């Protein structure tokens, strides 16, 4: 990589920037090593010739019923990654506060899942949120409504904060400055920061000291990710250090990271930023690379601690260099790198890591209002355990929803066009809305529904 500054100039400046921001010594050391790895790696890409597709995986449906749940469940904690704001939907609060089913938001459903799990098994399973500075207050405000749950946490905090790191100028690798908005000079270090933050805050040591040896980690916006006793039993009984839930890729997933295997037979995760442009067609071939990471991960915490302490508290994860602009809303702003790591790539540092094929129902994240409409609708139900499950009455393949972003991307616009909630989508295969439509109460959509742009607002069904 050609840079206009020397490494000896770059690293001290990065250290000064992080130190001035109050970063921990571990974060500074971790980020410096990440920059060094980026500088020293000849190529950021994982060539197709260096890997091979994963052919066969054990499947969740084939696992036997758990026999030793009461042995392992009291030694397990549930983690939710909850650092995201709903800015992509025009919100300025935690995305997990978006209403999902009835009056419940993501956090309500997660906390009620934990309540019912504790009641069913008569044991206290801690739940912990990894928040950003932007979502911590929102999380604590919701938790204030769950007094009994808060009392039964075994002294383990409900949250810890993820870190932030500087964006780096793409030419010089200097930390950028954005005079108009200083916050734009910073970015999250990717969800691989889970390990750094868990260790640096003392949470990892605290969990192990309190007898918590296993962790189930998932994204807060994925309500399909619930604690499954069968997977926990496999993790514990087989002493697996790290297990990733994967599911089959579809066309909608072709640009996301996929599971692969090294020539030596070790599992790795390849993200899109790690694929050379001339091999993009192979990366996106969903028949060749069939499995992708759901970000539902199961971790043996004692083995994680041992691996991190081998390298001074740092988990040596592959570096992903995402090319962005300092101001994501302004393509003319300073070109930057955001150096990140992926939580799932930790499987590369555990030789005995495994992957498990799970049904698509365990991967139902809400990234856009298209996803939210499906969750709002009768495509999903909330059962007695507060699990969001696919409606068993639907016999069609997964629905394809595409709403015109001009009129539906922002939550305020989205809610205004579905004032009485979502239409029935149980018998709908494709919903493509191009234009400005407001949907009346009691609307049922069936088959393929394509609504064209008429150039002016419409109601659906059309008024007679």
CATH of residue 140's domain is: 3.90.550.10
In a domain, 2, yes or no: no
Mark whether 333 and 445 lie in a shared domain.
Answer: no
Q: Please indicate, yes or no, whether residues 207 and 64 belong to a single structural domain of this protein.
A: yes
Looking at the fold, whether 255 and 294 belong to one and the same domain comes out as yes
Domain that includes residue 304, residue range: 7-362
1 is a domain residue: no
Domain boundary among 317, 346, 362: 362
User: Quick check: is 204 in a domain?
Assistant: yes
Q: The tokens of 320 are what?
A: 């992903």
**Cα separation, 59 vs 245, whole angstroms:** 10
Rg (CA), the chain: 23
From the candidates 101, 302, 367, 415, give the one annotated as an active-site residue.
367
Residues 281 and 397 in one domain: no
Pick from 261, 301, 363, 351: nearest CA to 57: 261
Quick check: 143 and 128 in contact, CB under 8 A? no
Is 367 among the catalytic positions? yes
H runs (alpha helix) in 22-104? 25-40, 69-72
Question: Cβ(186)–Cβ(177) under 8 Å?
Answer: no
Residues 307 and 435 in one domain: no
Integer Cα distance of 357 and 380 in angstroms: 22
Is 214 within 8 Å of 299 (Cβ atoms)? yes
- Residue 37, SS3 per DSSP: helix
Choose the final residue of a domain: 362, 380, 400: 362
Same domain, 170 and 303: yes
CA–CA dist 79, 140 (Å, integer) = 15
Both 358 and 373 in one domain: the answer is no
Q: Which residue has the tokens 């044991």?
A: 123
- What residue has token string 């950003």? 132
What's the residue count for the chain? 464
Find the helix packing angle between 301-310 and 193-200, rounded to 10°: 90
In the chain, the number of structural domains is 2
Q: Could you give the CA distance from residue 34 to residue 54 in angstroms, rounded to a whole number?
A: 28
Domain assignment present for residue 210? The answer is yes
**Domain CATH code at residue 438:** 2.160.10.10
* Together in a domain, 132 and 201: yes
**Does 205 lie in the same domain as 94?**
yes
Taking the alpha carbons of 138, 139, 140, 146 in that order, is the dihedral positive or negative?
positive
Residues 305 and 391 grouped into a single domain? no
Q: Is residue 172 part of a domain?
A: yes
pLDDT at 464: 52
What contacts 326, CB < 8 A, 6 or more positions away?
Answer: 167, 176, 178, 184, 185, 333, 334, 335, 336
**Can you name the residues that pair with 356 across neighbouring β-strands?**
245
Asked whether residue 346 falls in the same domain as residue 381, the answer is no
Please give the chain's pLDDT, 464 residues, in tens: 444 446 678 999 999 999 999 999 999 999 999 999 998 887 889 999 999 999 999 999 999 999 999 999 999 999 999 998 888 898 889 999 999 998 899 999 999 999 999 999 999 999 999 999 889 999 999 999 998 888 889 889 999 999 999 999 999 999 999 998 999 999 999 999 999 999 999 999 999 999 999 999 999 999 999 999 999 999 999 999 999 999 999 887 888 889 999 999 999 999 988 999 999 999 999 999 999 999 999 999 999 999 999 999 999 999 999 999 999 888 899 999 999 999 999 999 999 999 999 999 999 899 999 999 999 999 999 999 999 999 999 999 889 999 999 999 999 999 999 999 999 999 999 999 999 999 998 999 999 999 999 999 999 997 65
Distance CA 206, CA 215 (A): 13
Whether residue 390 sits in one domain with residue 283: no
Looking at residue 251, its pLDDT comes to 83
Last residue of a domain, one of 362, 394, 428: 362
Phi, psi of 76 (to 5 degrees): -125, 140
């Amino acid at each position: 990589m050609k840079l206009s500054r020397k490494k000896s100039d770059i690293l001290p400046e990065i250290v000064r920037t992080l130190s001035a921001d109050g970063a921990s010594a571990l974060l500074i050391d971790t980020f410096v090593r990440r920059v060094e790895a980026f500088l020293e790696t000849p190529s950021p890409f994982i060539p197709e010739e260096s890997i091979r597709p994963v052919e066969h995986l054990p499947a969740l449906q084939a696992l036997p019923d758990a026999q030793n749940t009461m042995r392992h469940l009291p030694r397990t904690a549930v983690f939710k990654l909850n650092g995201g704001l709903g800015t992509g939907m025009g919100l300025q609060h935690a995305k997990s506060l978006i209403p999902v089913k009835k009056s419940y938001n993501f956090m309500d459903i997660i906390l009620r899942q934990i309540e019912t799990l504790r009641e069913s098994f008569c044991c206290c399973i801690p739940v912990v949120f990894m928040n950003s500075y932007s979502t911590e207050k929102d999380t604590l405000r919701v938790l204030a409504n769950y007094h009994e749950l808060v009392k039964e946490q075994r002294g383990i905090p409900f949250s810890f904060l993820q870190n932030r790191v500087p964006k780096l100028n793409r030419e010089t690798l200097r930390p950028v400055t954005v005079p108009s908005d200083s916050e734009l000079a910073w970015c999250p270090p990717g969800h691989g920061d889970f390990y750094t933050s868990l260790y640096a805050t003392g949470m990892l040591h605290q969990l192990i000291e309190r007898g918590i040896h296993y962790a189930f980690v998932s994204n807060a916006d994925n309500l399909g990710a619930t604690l499954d006793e069968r997977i926990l039993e496999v993790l514990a009984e087989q002493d697996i250090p790290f297990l990733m839930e994967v599911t089959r890729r579809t066309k909608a997933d072709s640009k996301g990271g996929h599971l692969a295997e090294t020539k030596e037979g070790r599992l790795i995760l390849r993200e899109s930023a790690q694929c050379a442009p001339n091999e993009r067609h192979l990366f996106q071939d969903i028949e060749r690379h069939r499995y992708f990471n759901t970000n539902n991960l199961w971790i043996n915490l004692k083995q994680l601690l041992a691996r991190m302490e081998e390298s001074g508290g740092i988990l040596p994860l592959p570096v992903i260099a995402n090319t962005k602009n300092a101001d994501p809303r302004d393509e003319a702003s300073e070109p930057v790198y955001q150096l990140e790591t992926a939580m799932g790539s930790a499987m590369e540092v555990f030789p005995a890591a495994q992957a498990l094929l799970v049904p698509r129902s365990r991967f139902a994240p809400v990234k856009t209002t298209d996803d939210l409409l499906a969750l709002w609708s009768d495509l999903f139900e909330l059962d007695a355990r507060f699990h969001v499950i696919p409606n068993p009455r639907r016999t069609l393949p997964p629905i394809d929803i595409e709403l015109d972003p001009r009129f539906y991307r922002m939550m305020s616009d989205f809610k205004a066009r579905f004032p009485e909630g979502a239409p029935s989508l149980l018998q709908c295969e494709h919903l493509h809305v191009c234009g400005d439509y407001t949907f009346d109460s009691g609307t049922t959509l069936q088959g393929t529904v394509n609504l064209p742009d008429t150039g002016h607002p419409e109601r659906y069904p059309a008024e007679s």
